[in-house]
Structure 1
Amino acid sequence: MKCDFDQLTDRQQTGCIKWDFNQRTFGRADILPLWVADMDFKAPEAVVEALVKRAQHGIYGYSSGTESYYQVIIDWMQKRHGWAIQREWIAFSPGIVPALNELIRSLTKPGEQILIQSPVYPPFFHAIQNHGREVVNSQLTLENGRYTMDFADLEEKFASGVKMMILCNPHNPVGRVWDRGELERLGQLCLAHDIIVISDEIHGDLIYEGYQHLPFASLSPELAAQSIVCTAPSKTFNLAGLQNSNLIIPNAKYRQAFQASLNLTGVHNPNVFGITALEAAYQYGLDWLDQLMKYLKGNVEFLMSFLDQELPQIRAIQPEGTYLIWLDFRALGMEPKELHKFLVHKAGVGLNAGYSFGLGGEGFERLNLGCPRSVLEDGLQRIKTAVMGLGDASPIHSHD
């Protein structure tokens, strides 16, 4: 069945963080939101049908994953990523961010160092700091429009006493899909310095043609024993509101520590609709996903062409994966917070402020491409109009 990703679906009045809370998030209600990482596309029809059927059953009691639930996860990882995992490695979490917090709490001690690579997903910083651990940053290097890891810096930081690393694979927000050579080199350093690696792979199914996602723990048995891979159908199939994620933890000691920490919070089982949606998505959602990636690629090409022809002052980092794109506004010469206010209050668009992603994010903003092309075009036209009006000396008013 051909999917219509151009279809506009009104998400207002649904409790939607992206569309219903502009006033709270940006200080004004009348903006076009292109920020938080969920998509404005309906989930695969097979998922909708499965949820409707489950809802019609009428009883929504305590639930847990059956063997079929675990088998579809195993099959997906094998078919999609060539990684053979075992049933007992899979551990439930209501989300990747809660999992990060539990893994940090259960596998490190207060005061210990945890490394991240900025600019990176802001909850990484929060999860480390909230539990009294120390953030160690190895900033990514931007050269010729492409980000790379700074391996010399990584080795130096690891040698200084780092205990854990949070890897973003694919990387949010810069869109890199780390290749085998990069991951193997990183893996050798982690083994040499006995670093536990949490690999956030929530975007691992959203890969553009010509690139391949490699689960970090799949590289070798030695790295599997030192790694936790975080997965979910939520980004892939637009199911984030169903709060169902799965960690793949080959190391039994790590797995038991994580489970014990999770138990202290009283979190036990996935909700009944999350179970249903995951099984349907992984079994029947592949064709929808293939069509989605073609549509997203078209959105990337549309944006790149628009900037080239209409807004050459703004550059985009070519994404290799994810439906997020990292925009470089530095040529406008604005301070980071002024840039964000300008986009909200002059352009009327809500993006993610680049400075919230840590060092290296200043002067950038993250835009969500997971929307109908007409919405994307509207957002870009708004930005163009605002940039063209920069000769107007009227001040930028924040309505905070």
Structure 2
Amino acid sequence: MLHTAGVLKMQMAQQPVYYPFSEVVLDNGRRLVSSDLQQDADGRYQIDYADFEAKIVDNQVKLFLLCSPHNPLGRVWSREELLTLGRICQKHHVTVFSDEIHADFVWQGEHHVFAEVYPAFAQFSMIATSPSKTFNIAGLQVSNLFIPEEALRKQFRRIYNASGRSQLNAAGIVAAEAAYTHGEVWYNAVKDYLCGNIAYMAEFLRTRLPQLTMHAPEGTYLVWVDFRRLGLSPDALEDFILHKAKLWLDSGAIFGTVGQNLQRFNIACPRATLTQALIQLETAVNELTQS
């Protein structure tokens, strides 16, 4: 069950993860527990299930914030991975808030709605989606929250109403309906375009910026790039990105300490914009290595 503010203290995430997860926990006077995702020998991020369960038990965690597909790592969790996570949460009576906002962008594998992975999971799940990423209407502030279990849904509604938020804006509702009803052609076209951008960036880094390691996303339009081979400190890397490459990227450090010296790129942009950004980065890296 979702505990009220006076009871719920410890909340779990898996860093590096979308930074508002951490912000909303800390801004509400709660403590954040992270079971950090670990890279295997191939650089692919994996879940440490033993650490995940130990952190829940040791910290009496009652709410887990799941990011699926994962932002910024681009992992698309398999059914087996979600089943293992869910069984641990079920065992220890942990409510799961599953952010599935990037579910429409899956390049490898298959997206699995957490509440549908196993029938019992619906009893302690909240599933969040939105047309905002898929159809680029984030400014209209419209999203969806599915809470199958009635008591949990009523409890959430009480807390939500107490926050003072009650009505969606009319433009957001109309835009969401229009997107879901008539947006298929555009959606399929944008997926093809984003696939092309991901492949283009991977080839650019492979051939022209081998000092950087790109983690090709299994899902999302976000690309996680490792800059550690440049040998810069976190502060020096931020200065390098901003003042030498003249780019505005998302520092990996804001996603958790395990993200230091990595950067998140958003490739949902025109190819010309992406090309210009990569050329600026290439020029800056070449100047750095030559000096």
Scaled by the length of structure 1, the TM-score of the pair is 0.70
How do 1:167-178 residues align onto structure 2 when only pairs under 5 Å count?
167-178=66-77
Give the drift of 1:162: 1.1
For 2:117, give the aligned amino acid: L
Alpha-carbon contact 2:8-2:62 (below 8 Å) kept: no
- Deviation per residue, 1:24-74 (Å, 9 max, x gap): xxxxxxxxxxxxxxxxxxxxxxxxxxxxxxxxxxxxxxxxxxxxxxxxxxx
How do 1:10-25 residues align onto structure 2 when only pairs under 5 Å count?
none
Which of the numbers 191, 202, 206 marks the counterpart of 2:90?
191
Task: Work out whether 1:114 is the aligned partner of 2:11.
Answer: yes
What percentage of residue pairs aligned between the two structures are identical?
Answer: 43
In 1, the alpha carbon distance for the partners of 2:214 and 2:290 equals 25
In 1, the alpha carbon distance for the partners of 2:92 and 2:77 equals 21
How do 1:37-116 residues align onto structure 2 when only pairs under 5 Å count?
107=4, 109=6, 112-116=9-13
For 1:226, give the aligned amino acid: F
**Greater C-alpha radius of gyration:** 1
| Unpaired stretches in structure 1, ≥5 consecutive residues | 1-102, 394-400
- Deviation per residue, 1:278-310 (Å, 9 max, x gap): 111111112211221111111011000000100
Which residue does 1:81 correspond to in 2? none
In 2, the alpha carbon distance for the partners of 1:252 and 1:111 equals 20
In 1, the alpha carbon distance for the partners of 2:148 and 2:289 equals 58
**Residue 211 and residue 108 in structure 1: after superposition, are their counterparts in 2 closer, same or farther (change >3 A)?**
farther
How do 1:1-400 residues align onto structure 2 when only pairs under 5 Å count?
107=4, 109=6, 112-143=9-40, 144-160=42-58, 161-208=60-107, 210-391=108-289
In 1, the alpha carbon distance for the partners of 2:121 and 2:10 equals 20
Give the drift of 1:382: 0.3
For 1:365, give the aligned amino acid: Q
For 1:299, give the aligned amino acid: N
For 2:223, give the aligned amino acid: I
**Residue 107 and residue 222 in structure 1: after superposition, are their counterparts in 2 closer, same or farther (change >3 A)?**
farther
In 2, the alpha carbon distance for the partners of 1:385 and 1:362 equals 22
Deviates further, 280-289 or 300-309: 280-289
Alpha-carbon contact 1:110-1:132 (below 8 Å) kept: no
- CA RMSD in angstroms comes to 1.6
For 1:139, give the aligned amino acid: D
| Unpaired stretches in structure 2, ≥5 consecutive residues | none
Aligned length: 289
Deviates further, 359-368 or 107-116: 107-116
In 2, the alpha carbon distance for the partners of 1:197 and 1:188 equals 11
Q: For 1:211, what is the secondary structure of its paired residue?
A: coil
Q: For 2:168, what is the secondary structure of its paired residue?
A: coil
Alpha-carbon contact 1:170-1:203 (below 8 Å) kept: yes
For 2:78, give the aligned amino acid: D
Deviates further, 155-164 or 376-385: 155-164
Q: For 1:225, what is the secondary structure of its paired residue?
A: helix
- Deviation per residue, 1:344-368 (Å, 9 max, x gap): 1000110001101003101100000
Give the drift of 1:107: 4.2
In 2, the alpha carbon distance for the partners of 1:317 and 1:109 equals 40
In 2, the alpha carbon distance for the partners of 1:236 and 1:215 equals 17
Give the drift of 1:188: 0.9
Alpha-carbon contact 2:214-2:225 (below 8 Å) kept: yes
Q: Which has the higher contact order (CA 8 A, sep 6+)?
A: 1
